[in-house]
Structure 1
Amino acid sequence: MEMIPSRSSSLTKFKSDKPKILFLGKPTHDGGEIQKNTDYFEIDILDAENRTEALAKIPHQLFTRGPYEGIVARTNVYPFDPFDEELFAPFMPRLKIVVTGQVGYNDFDVEWMTRQGVYFCNSKYATCEATAEMALFLIFAVLRNTSLGEQSLREGRWRGDLGLGRDPAGLTLGIIGMGKIGEKLAHKASTAFGMRVAYWNKSGRKVSTLQHWAHLTSEYYQCETLDELLGCSDVVSLHCPLTESTTKLMSDREFGKMKPGSFFINTSRGGLVDDSALIKALESGQICRAGLDVFGGEPDSICPYYRERADKVVVQPHMGGLTEASFRKASMECFANLRAFFETGRPLAPLNELPIGTESKALGFKKAPTTHEHRPSTSTPAPSSNLLVAANEPIPAK
């Protein structure tokens, strides 16, 4: 158990008045955001390495330091999932909000939280830039067959049986799920590398700033159907959440609709893809190569084919969002939602809407005093709404 002290000793007398927040797992690379927010929250850390240890420690944590109104889950890589009733029920009925530093939420039981009147917020912006860059890296890697080139050189064979690579300029990149990550990838791929971009949203949502190819060939084309996108794309990149309706979105039928010899990228969730169907498409040549940062059964039950076939698959161990800037942005976004909730009774960007009668009122959020006892420092956080905007902007390198 770890308690984060306030930045100002003069605030200790207000300690019991602050909302109590618990981090599940010791956060890393938060850029000092936790310390900056100790004037606003009483923050504890449950230092556990895995779900079993966390479940064992929670009762004692609640007895000695609880109750908690807010929980921050996974701003790191500790394997606490699933984030479900078993994990969160001990914190009820005082728990009002759960925030996470990740964008994916398939391992969170959002329906249960909604029934309990608990807001849930993922981090919609924090990892967008980094994940889009990982997708772009994988696109280049499959086009240039870099995994096989590296393997050949390490084995003492200069170039080996490597053929010519493909140039990205002029190829069509098909994006399945034109959300925040998809938009960033589209911008990078089109403006810097001359790729044409098509996209398809399951919801049918049109990105308002985009234009049809017929009007401006450097802009993006919205496909009416998934089949249309698959048929016109040289590279297909997945950027949608894993839900019941998107599980195995890419299977035999979908891979069969792609251009022969095209390329496939997945930086979203492994469960979106039918592994046997992808392997069949790779072996037949329907898909030339795949670039994968995510896998079904990760990390312990990844299909061996992906590890063994450097000639067919470029792999990364789910590193897309793991950058220093992303972790700091995730902390900023988590605290932005927490502060907004305790200021107004509603977070800035909740993923769920609560049933009538379960909404929380503002819980007496205590803002940092501005008396002579405590003068605001230059590191005092900006207003919550500004933090959410900042989380979507690049953070300069140190």
Structure 2
Amino acid sequence: MAKVVVTGRIPEAALDKLRAEHEVDAWDGEQSISRAGLLAKVSGADALVTLLTERVDAELLDAAGEQLKVVSNVAVGYDNIVVADCSARGVRATNTPGVLTEATADIAFGLILMATRRLGEGERLIRSGTPWKWGMFFLLGSSLQGKTLGVVGMGGIGQATARRAKAFGMEVVYQSRSEIDPAIAAELGARRVELDELLAISDVVSLHCPYGPNTHHLIGAEQLAAMKPEAYLVNTARGPIVDEAALAQALRDGVIAGAGLDVFEKEPALHPDLLELENVALVPHLGSSTVETRTAMAVLACENTLAVLRGEDPATPVN
């Protein structure tokens, strides 16, 4: 039996799959394991099942030892993994794409509605006990019908978000490294454009690109200034894709109308100025947070782990 270390709490259905074949050492603390504790825990592991809160780098891989065969990340993004360090040691790295597509697209579109219809402002007003009265100009928002959604990163989640936008009567443009399947583009009525054009013509910009050196602060002061003053920005991808300080300034100055954020630059911390602004909807990284989705993610990560330990190829490899 191999030793499998699980670095954070995951659903029992996934752990049961591992326990059926191997010895499992799973961290079950309410808080993330400390770095020192993690380095000690992984010693002698043949496989690691990791969460996006743990950085997988040369230090961690070496702490595990030369027998380590696979690191299975319970996330579609793998910016917490230094893939080159894994490859240099012959360690397979995997992620969990696909299973969280619909749940994350739901959150993205939920944030679009929260921002454009000022739902967060309305709820805060009610909960504060502030007197209010219906009126023709009370908390006016912006409709979506006939407006343009700009999708940055047209992978599975971007496409699912665009599909929701079409149902709301929106036009769709997208920026991506490559063209999407022509049949999907035709279904969505989606047109590929460069980022500059997307920012200039979109009423809502929704970010779905992976995070890396090329997308760090992809949206900063210059890009925000290129957007329409009545436009909205939504980010359900990774926090550092957006320069939070620049976004806070743009929201304060009316450079754009509003924003919706599910992810933050230095999560769980966020730029303090954002907390003072009414025109931004803030939720704590809920993109994949349904019982069904989190279970499917964990099960897929564990199935990837078991495949590698059997000498088979994992279903969703990164390297």
TM-score, normalised with respect to structure 2: 0.90
Q: Are 2:69 and 2:309, in contact at CA under 8 Å, matched by a contact in 1?
A: no
Rg larger in 1 or in 2? 1
* Structure 1 contact 249–273 (Cα < 8 Å) conserved: yes
Task: Give the match for residue 84 of structure 2.
Answer: 111
The corresponding residue for 2:116 is 143
Code of the residue aligned with 1:181 in structure 2: it is I
Once the 2 structures are TM-superposed, how far is the Cα of residue 164 of structure 1 from its aligned partner? 2.0
Residue aligning to 1:174 = 150
For the Cα contact (< 8 Å) 1:341–1:348, is it kept in 2? no
Gaps of 5+ in 1: 1-17, 353-398
SS at match of 2:183: coil
Q: 1:21 aligns to what SS in structure 2? A: strand
Q: How many matched pairs?
A: 315
Structure 1 residues 205 and 92: CA distance shift in structure 2, 3 A = farther
2:284 aligned with 1:305: no
Alignment counterpart, residue 221 of structure 1, candidates 191, 197, 210: 191
State the match for 1:197 in structure 2: 172
The separation in 1 between residues aligned to 2:196 and 2:4, in whole angstroms, is: 46
Separation in structure 1 between the aligned mates of residue 213 and residue 316 of structure 2, nearest angstrom: 22
Q: Say whether the 8 Å CA contact 1:46–1:61 is kept in structure 2.
A: no
More displaced stretch, 278-287 vs 140-149: 278-287
Describe the superposition over 1:249-270 as per-residue Cα deviations: whole angstroms up to 9, x where unpaired.
0012211221221011011111
The CA distance in 2 between the partners of 1:305 and 1:336, in whole Å, is 42
The Cα RMSD (Å) is 2.2
The 1:286–1:59 alpha-carbon spacing in structure 2 relative to 1, beyond 3 Å, is closer
Q: CA deviation at 1:316?
A: 0.5
Which residue in the other structure is 1:69 paired with? 46
Contact 1:101 1:126 survives alignment (8 Å): no
Question: Aligned pair in 2 of structure 1 residues 288, 59: CA closer, same or farther (>3 Å)?
Answer: closer
Could you tell me which amino acid in structure 1 is paired with residue 6 of structure 2?
F
| 1:258 corresponding residue in structure 2 | 227
- For the Cα contact (< 8 Å) 1:153–1:159, is it kept in 2? no
Q: How does 1:76-115 map to 2 (within 5 A)?
A: 79=53, 81-115=54-88
Cα 1:59–1:275 shift into 2, 3 Å: closer
CA distance in 2, matches of 1:273, 1:59: 34
Q: C-alpha displacement at 1:200, in angstroms?
A: 0.8
Which residue of structure 2 aligns with residue 34 of structure 1? 15
Shift of 1:344: 4.1
Aligned to 1:210: 184
- CA shift at 1:60, angstroms? 6.7
Deviations 1:365-387 (A, max 9, x none): xxxxxxxxxxxxxxxxxxxxxxx
d(CA) in 2 for partners of 1:162, 1:113:
55
* C-alpha distance in structure 1 between counterparts of 2:41 and 2:88, whole Å: 26
Give the partner amino acid of 1:321.
S
Deviation string, structure 1 residues 38-88 (Cα, Å, up to 9, x no partner)? 333332224454343x633654774xxxx32211012xx8x4x32222223
Q: Secondary structure at the match of 1:210?
A: helix
- Counterparts of 1:116-135 in structure 2, within 5 Å, are 116-135=89-108
Report SS of the residue matched to 1:108. Answer: coil
TM-score by length of 1: 0.73
2:36 maps to 1:55: yes
Q: Matched residues, percent identical?
A: 32
Structure 1 consecutive aligned stretches of length 4 or more whose deviation exceeds 6 Å:
none
SS in 1 for 2:19: coil
Unaligned runs of 5+ in 2: none
1:268 lines up with 2:245 in the alignment = no
Return the alpha-carbon distance in structure 1 between the equivalents of residues 67 and 310 of structure 2: 17
